[in-house]
């Protein structure tokens, strides 16, 4: 028997029932331990008797022995907090069954059986928002990664694929709309006021892709004809009042469907595509087969309530979930260690889509900014892990920037090395070969190797090694030869002390200082620990532009003259490299001043170089405003803090503000001119108008730093004149950081104006909580007691507290008060919503990169959390790993 029985002590005797329960670490799941499931589940039937407080689930599983697995006398059906109402085998009593922890283990002797399992659940009591839960009077599900086991007993693992038929019945008045995966089979009302529906999904799928929605919803409907001629009915379901704000989501969906046909040759495979927006949701959105469930944040938009950033994010998330239909659903993951197989690849696909829809360089810059401000710190801290992790205790903790964003970068490198066309051959082979299967990252790499004709032997290290490689770059010049010396080092990470060198593809160019041009770029791949490359025909020393387009996710260390960076900031024809030069120029300067190693004259000279480059950016007619806005952006505090050990965040942030003030003053005239030119352009979603709004608010932030009183007036005027959320929020953000009467005024106006629109009220919370205002801690404290604040809505919790963890003077206040507030939040939220609570732990886990005083205060809070009784698996794992 492979069943663990009642827990027993080391001497083999049963444990005494009244023995004090030792707080014990949840077990570690290891990638190497994978074994196929002993049973296949060709079909699953689910019958739901729906009620907000009581839902009865009858699951009927046809099972048969898996010829590719070892025989087992039992089947283990995962459960999580379920009570079994009844169980039958082949329509009669079972031979034997027992509970093992939360799982149900049934003894079976034949090769083929039918299991019928009845469970009862209370969706209204489900505050974890995993499984079946109630939100605003409707019922919905979230099953990835392990939520299905909160609905019924089932082999809740992604390699068990089954064809689902789902029937639902519930009060018609409460649940006029009943949705599930696949195609609608039947739908109607009976005389007793009950509504029923049946859905059938012909595509075998894992349980994490199951979904059900029941509620009073309305839809925007549309149609799409696929390249193969299939007519698909599209619907975006929302609450009554929200219908007018669904147009952008629908248009985005159609664009994504077209793009995936054109770019990856992937076509949709059902007659309907439903998207439902819910306001209580742990994540952004979920790709359930034929029935995506979305956080309202990533569906609802109109110019008055959504910023340009919101519009772009909606388009990206809609596309992302749609793209999963192939990268995730048709080809799914064998186990959760392979998560990056679907997430990394799908993030790359959504990034490429957004690049094609809008300005490609601007999108690339934004994506790199996220990578470097979130993933790089993760990769250099106690929570570092490879994109394909080796072990976990709670899988929800591994939906990380590493798995997602670094995962996307790793596949992007393969694409850079293969070129677009050959990469496409690789993805075609991958999709064809593994359609209908649960695959591994290794399967993906093999398909790209064969299809694209690459040798990825050593490249596989990117899947197994954590840590951001450090790349030393030096350019020397002798005679007519320029020599590029490259060397790499992958830093040690938890559990991985020794690292091997990884292939690093770098797009480079050498510029002629005189004419500002280069002779063509090339892609070089550093295969070993070090290499030198010679370039002939340079009479004068050229200027090196390296990692153009950010071809490799590495940290570059190089001794480069400020003049060379200033040169590239003006002349580089690769937009990313130009942005990078500007960033490096500023980062170099801020780190020097924060280090107090700079004399007054040197500081002045550096600021003049930065000011000169910035002036060129403001005046360069060849730039569009979207790109100009990017180039104007100073490196963020999180990125700066990640650059040096023992950073005092307050100091770095203050220096950054001082530089802003200096630029705002010396370039005041140009910035005011830019602001007024941009203000004259009317609202539309075209790139010119979006660019104008971007530079307008950027200009305002510089002017505000230089002259708060004057900028306060300008911002108040922009706020009053605004006919869209981008302008209004941009102005309010500047005001929120100031101490003027207009601050109070406009914050109040904003609240009154948008009272009753939760997504906009979220912005109101976030603006105040992320402000550089010296009193931000007091503000957050007050907002936590605001009647609109609740721990039960993840969007609201994130807008107040996630925003706050980015404030150098608030979260990182020297007193430790900010750390304590976040620890208090984690402890209060953990019993309500463990997944969301655990997502706040990494902020405290950054202690290694802080000066000693703060590091100690952060650890103190982590230890306080660790000492709490009854921590969730999620928070327990994050806190213990963070302590190291
Ligand atoms: N499959 C995920 C959603 C998910 C993640 C569900 C973790 C349960 C646990 C979905 O495809 C996803 O990745 N969503 C992202 C947005 C996306 C654009 C990166 C999200 O929700 O943040
Ligand atoms: Zn995803």
Ligand 1 atom with minimal separation from the 147 CA: 8
Ligand 1 midpoint to CA 847 (Å) = 27
Q: Which ligand is nearest to the CA of 148?
A: 1
Ligand 1 midpoint to CA 120 (Å) = 28
Q: Whose CA is nearest to atom 22 of ligand 1?
A: 284
**Residues with Cβ within 6 A of ligand 1?**
144-145, 283-287, 316-317, 320-321, 324, 343, 347, 350, 399, 404
- Which positions ≥6 away from 669 have C-beta within 8 Å? none
Q: Whose CA is nearest to atom 10 of ligand 1?
A: 286
Ligand 1 atom with minimal separation from the 316 CA: 18
Q: Which ligand is nearest to the CA of 346?
A: 2
Q: With contact defined as beta carbons under 8 Å apart, do 871 and 864 qualify? A: no
**Position 15 pLDDT exceeds 60:** no
Name 213's bridge partners. Answer: 140, 179
Average pLDDT, stretch 746-757? 98
How far is Cα of residue 12 from the mean position of the Cα atoms in its chain? 46
Q: Which ligand is nearest to the CA of 316?
A: 1
Closest by CA position to 466, among listed 404, 388, 373: 388
Distance set, CA 517 to CA 174, 330, 627 (Å): 68, 47, 20
Ligand 1 midpoint to CA 259 (Å) = 20
Closest by CA position to 132, among listed 193, 183, 80, 197: 80
Q: Whose CA is nearest to atom 1 of ligand 1?
A: 286
Average pLDDT, stretch 96-124? 98
Alpha-carbon span 386 to 406, nearest angstrom? 9
Cβ-defined contacts of 859-867 (< 8 Å, 24+): 859/883, 860/816, 860/819, 861/816, 861/819, 861/820, 861/822, 861/823, 862/823, 864/823, 864/827, 865/823, 865/826, 865/827, 865/841
pLDDT tens digits along 49-62: 999 999 999 999 99
Closest by CA position to 540, among listed 479, 586, 621: 479
Which of the pair, 9 or 612, is modelled with greater confidence? 612
pLDDT tens digits along 154-184: 999 999 999 999 999 999 999 999 999 999 9
H/E stretch holding 709: helix 708-721
Ligand 2 midpoint to CA 157 (Å) = 17
Alpha-carbon span 305 to 753, nearest angstrom? 11
Alpha-carbon span 506 to 485, nearest angstrom? 13
Ligand 1 midpoint to CA 347 (Å) = 10
Residue 560 DSSP SS3: coil
- What is the torsion angle, in degrees rounded to the nearest 10, for the CA atoms of residue 245, residue 250, residue 255 and residue 256? 110
Ligand 1 atom with minimal separation from the 295 CA: 21
Alpha-carbon span 254 to 223, nearest angstrom? 9
Name 138's bridge partners. Answer: 135
Ligand 2 midpoint to CA 825 (Å) = 27
pLDDT for res 442? 99
Average pLDDT, stretch 120-148? 98
pLDDT for res 569? 94
pLDDT for res 648? 75
Closest by CA position to 71, among listed 23, 108, 106: 108
Q: Which ligand is nearest to the CA of 319?
A: 1
**Position 18 pLDDT exceeds 80:** no
Alpha-carbon span 255 to 356, nearest angstrom? 11
Q: Which of 321, 394, 449, 877 is catalytic?
A: 321
Query: Which of 285, 294, 328, 341 for a ligand 1 pocket mutation test, highest count of atoms within 8 Å of Cβ?
Result: 285
Q: Whose CA is nearest to atom 8 of ligand 1?
A: 144
DSSP state of 871: -
321 is catalytic: yes
Average pLDDT, stretch 351-366? 98
Q: Which ligand is nearest to the CA of 298?
A: 1
Ligand 1 atom with minimal separation from the 347 CA: 19
Q: Whose CA is nearest to atom 13 of ligand 1?
A: 343
pLDDT for res 23? 57
| Strand 291-295 to 285-286 pairing | antiparallel
pLDDT tens digits along 79-94: 999 999 999 999 999 9
pLDDT tens digits along 782-838: 999 999 999 999 999 999 999 999 999 999 999 999 999 999 999 999 999 999 999
Ligand 1 midpoint to CA 327 (Å) = 13
Alpha-carbon span 239 to 762, nearest angstrom? 18
Triad 179, 185, 190: Cα angle to 5°: 75
DSSP line for 790-819: -TT-HHHHIIIIIHHTT-TTTTT-TTSHHH
Residues whose beta carbons lie less than 5 angstroms from ion ligand 2:
343, 346
DSSP state of 238: E
Tokens of 7: 């827990």
Q: Whose CA is nearest to atom 17 of ligand 1?
A: 317
pLDDT for res 643? 85
Ligand 1 midpoint to CA 729 (Å) = 26
Which range, of 392-401, 578-587, 845-854, averages the lowest pLDDT?
845-854
Q: Whose CA is nearest to atom 20 of ligand 1?
A: 284
Residue 14's Cβ-count burial label (10 Å; 0-12, 13-18, 19+) is: exposed
Ligand 1 atom with minimal separation from the 350 CA: 18
Q: With contact defined as beta carbons under 8 Å apart, do 553 and 465 qualify? A: no
| Strand 438-439 to 332-333 pairing | parallel
Average pLDDT, stretch 425-446? 99
pLDDT tens digits along 240-277: 999 999 999 999 999 999 999 999 999 999 999 999 99
pLDDT for res 108? 97
Alpha-carbon span 733 to 723, nearest angstrom? 16
The total of other beta-carbon atoms located within 10 Å of residue 16's CB is 8
Alpha-carbon span 107 to 119, nearest angstrom? 19
pLDDT tens digits along 273-296: 999 999 999 999 999 999 999 999
Q: Whose CA is nearest to atom 3 of ligand 1?
A: 286
């Amino acid at each position: 028997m492979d069943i663990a029985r009642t827990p027993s002590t080391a001497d083999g005797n049963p444990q005494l029932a009244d023995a004090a329960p030792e707080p014990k670490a949840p077990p570690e799941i290891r990638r190497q331990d994978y074994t196929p499931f002993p049973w296949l589940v060709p079909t699953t039937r689910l019958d739901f008797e729906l009620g907000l407080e009581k839902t009865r689930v009858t699951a009927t599983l046809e099972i048969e022995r898996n010829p590719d697995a070892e025989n087992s006398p039992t089947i283990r059906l995962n459960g999580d907090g379920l009570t079994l109402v009844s169980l039958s085998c082949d329509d009669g009593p079972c031979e034997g069954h027992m509970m093992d922890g939360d799982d149900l283990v049934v003894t079976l002797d034949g090769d083929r059986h039918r299991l019928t399992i009845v469970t009862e659940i209370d969706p209204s009591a489900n505050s974890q928002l995993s499984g079946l839960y109630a939100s605003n009077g409707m019922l919905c599900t979230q099953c990835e990664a392990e939520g299905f086991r909160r609905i019924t007993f089932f082999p809740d693992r992604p390699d068990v694929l089954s064809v689902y038929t789902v029937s639902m019945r519930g009060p018609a008045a409460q649940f006029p709309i009943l949705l599930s995966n696949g195609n609608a089979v039947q739908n109607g009302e009976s005389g007793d006021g009950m509504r029923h529906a049946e859905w059938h999904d012909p595509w075998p799928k894992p349980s994490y892709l199951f979904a059900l929605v029941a509620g009073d919803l309305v839809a925007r409907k549309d149609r799409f004809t696929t390249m193969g001629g299939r007519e698909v009915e599209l619907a975006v379901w929302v609450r009554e009042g929200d219908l007018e704000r669904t147009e952008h989501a629908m248009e985005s969906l159609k664009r994504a469907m077209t793009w995936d046909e054109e770019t990856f040759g992937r076509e949709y495979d059902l007659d309907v595509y439903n998207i439902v927006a819910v306001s209580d949701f742990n994540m952004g959105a979920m790709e359930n087969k034929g029935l995506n469930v979305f956080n309202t944040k990533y569906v609802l938009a109109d110019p008055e309530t959504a910023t340009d950033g919101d519009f772009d994010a909606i388009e990206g998330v809609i596309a992302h979930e749609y793209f999963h239909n192939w990268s995730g659903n048709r080809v799914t993951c064998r186990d959760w260690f392979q998560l990056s197989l679907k997430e990394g690849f799908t993030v790359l696909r959504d990034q490429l889509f957004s690049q094609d829809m809008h300005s490609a360089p601007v999108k690339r810059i934004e994506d790199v900014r996220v990578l470097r401000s979130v993933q790089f710190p993760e990769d250099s801290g106690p929570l570092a892990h490879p994109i394909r992790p080796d072990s976990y205790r709670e899988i929800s903790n591994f939906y990380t920037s590493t798995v997602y964003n670094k995962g996307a970068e790793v596949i992007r490198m393969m694409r850079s090395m293969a070129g677009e066309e050959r990469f496409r051959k690789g993805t075609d082979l991958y999709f064809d070969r593994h359609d209908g299967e649960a695959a591994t990252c290794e399967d993906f790499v093999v398909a790209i190797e064969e299809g694209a004709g690459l040798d990825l032997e050593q490249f596989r290290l990117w899947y197994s090694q954590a840590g951001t490689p450090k790349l030393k770059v030096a350019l020397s010049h002798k005679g007519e030869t320029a020599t590029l010396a490259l060397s790499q080092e992958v830093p040690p990470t938890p559990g991985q002390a020794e690292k091997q060198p990884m292939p690093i593809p770098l797009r480079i160019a050498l510029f002629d200082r005189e004419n500002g041009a280069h002779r063509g770029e090339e892609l070089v791949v550093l295969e070993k620990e070090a290499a030198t490359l010679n370039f002939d025909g340079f009479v004068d020393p050229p200027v090196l532009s390296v990692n153009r387009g950010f071809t490799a996710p590495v940290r570059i260390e190089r001794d480069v003259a400020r003049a060379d960076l200033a040169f590239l900031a003006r002349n580089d024809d690769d937009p990313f490299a130009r942005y990078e030069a500007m960033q490096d120029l500023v980062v170099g300067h801020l780190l020097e001043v924060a280090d107090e190693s700079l004399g007054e004259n040197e500081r002045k000279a550096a600021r003049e170089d930065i000011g000169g480059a910035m002036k060129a950016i403001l005046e360069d007619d060849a730039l569009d405003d979207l790109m100009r806005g990017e180039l104007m952006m100073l490196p963020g505090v999180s990125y700066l803090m990640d650059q040096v050990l023992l950073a005092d965040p307050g100091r770095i942030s203050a220096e950054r503000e001082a530089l802003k003030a200096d630029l705002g003053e010396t370039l005041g005239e140009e910035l005011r001119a830019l602001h007024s030119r941009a203000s004259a352009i009317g609202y539309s979603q075209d790139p010119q108008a979006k660019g104008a709004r971007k530079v307008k608010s950027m200009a305002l932030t510089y002017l505000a730093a230089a002259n708060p009183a004057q900028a306060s007036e300008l911002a108040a005027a922009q706020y009053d004149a605004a006919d869209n959320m981008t302008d209004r929020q941009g102005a309010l953000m500047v005001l929120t950081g100031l101490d003027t009467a207009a601050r109070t005024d406009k914050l109040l106006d904003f609240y009154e104006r948008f009272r009753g629109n939760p997504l906009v009220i979220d912005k109101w919370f976030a603006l105040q909580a992320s402000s550089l205002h010296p009193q931000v801690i007091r503000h957050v404290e007050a907002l936590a007691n605001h009647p609109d604040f609740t721990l039960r809505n993840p969007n609201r919790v994130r807008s107040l507290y996630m925003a706050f963890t980015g404030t150098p003077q608030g979260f990182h206040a020297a007193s430790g008060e900010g750390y304590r507030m976040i620890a208090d939040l984690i402890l209060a939220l953990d019993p309500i919503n463990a997944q969301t609570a655990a997502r706040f732990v990494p902020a405290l886990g950054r202690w290694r990169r802080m000066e000693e005083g703060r590091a100690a205060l952060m650890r103190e809070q982590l230890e306080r959390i660790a000492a709490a009784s009854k921590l969730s698996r999620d928070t327990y794992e994050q806190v213990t790993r963070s302590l190291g």
